[in-house]
Amino acid sequence: MEITSNPKLENLPKVLLLGPIRVYTLFESEFSSHFQFIKCNDSPLPLPHFLATSNATAMLIGGHIPITACDVLDHLPSLRCIVTITAGLNHIDLAECCRRGIAVTSAGDAYSNDCADFALALLIDLLRKVSSVHRFGQRVSAEGHYCLSHRLKGKKIGIIGLGSIGSRIARRLEAFGCTILYSSRKQKPSVSYPFYSDICELATNSDILVISCALTNQTRHMINKQVLSALGKEGVIINIARGAIIDEKELVRFLVEGKIAGAGLDVFENEPYVPKELSAMDNVVLLPHAAFITHESFRDVFELAKGNLLAFFSNKPLLSPVTDV
């Protein structure tokens, strides 16, 4: 692989940039004052050959390329640190990284406040029919009547995943006068909300389910036919986590058949594909995986990624290491 010589870059630490990353593009000049980036998109070499000749010890990634042994890691024997700008880690084989002694850092809670705000935005939009009424107002006269909406106050909200994002959602919903229930990998002694180890039981006791957990082998299709049935005809579901946590075919069927009341979805099982049945529904709000996208969150995650890389190359503790493998 040929890298153009630039005396100003010679002494900068080299970082492999795997795939297009919007945060890098926005802050390229600031990143490049600290690191020399080796970009796979600039190389004519096949990816395995490019990786093998990079001799990279550190890598900056987004969420679109799977980081597995055969696809990436086998070709990077010198790799010792992966810095991802994502909060979700389902695209990285963490166990394999641990086995190889490769440290992984995440976006930590850089996106948490914005994602929590967005969950509420989806929920209020859905209950008060904001998007639906907007479309209605564009196609009829002011004399038309639209169906009644629902208030948020007093609703029982079942939050699935009471981590960094879920706990912020809970605090915001408390301010709206909602009752909070939750399910998580472990009960959290620090909170007083009722805990449910069984998702179906949580759904039975909730008016609304909000999904804010990680996608793992255990949570894939966790929201299935049984959970949706337990949620019931008046129930609403909000998903800002990962699309595959819901069995999307069952969700579509329940919405089409009127077996749940509505859904606010920022993520989908096979992004960017969105089931066509959902597009025409007034009781569904669809967004293109946008919950985390703000000027502020991108600045925060840039600073965190830069800090993690600087820490790695200085042999200092990483700022947001992933320890739960």
Which of 174, 271, 277, 296 is an active site residue? 271
Beta-bridge partners for 61: 18, 84
Calculate the alpha carbon distances from 62 to 17, 28, 41, 167, 214 in Å. 9, 15, 14, 25, 16
- Which of 29, 21, 19, 22 lies closest to 72, judged by CA? 19
* Strand blocks (E) in 58-160: 58-61, 81-84, 103-105, 156-160
Active site residue 242: yes
Active site residue 271: yes
Cis peptide before 66 (omega within 30 of 0): no
Which of 100, 289, 299, 303 is an active site residue? 289
Which of 242, 248, 250, 269 is an active site residue? 242
Dihedral of alpha carbons 217, 221, 226, 228, sign:
positive
Q: Is 61 exposed, middle or buried (0-12, 13-18, 19+ CB in 10 A)?
A: buried
Contacts 24+ apart (CB under 8 A), 100-103: 100/73, 102/73, 103/312, 103/318, 103/321
Nearest-angstrom CA–CA distance, 286 and 315: 44
> Beta-carbon neighbour count of residue 161 at 10 Å?
21
Q: Which residues are catalytic?
A: 242, 271, 289
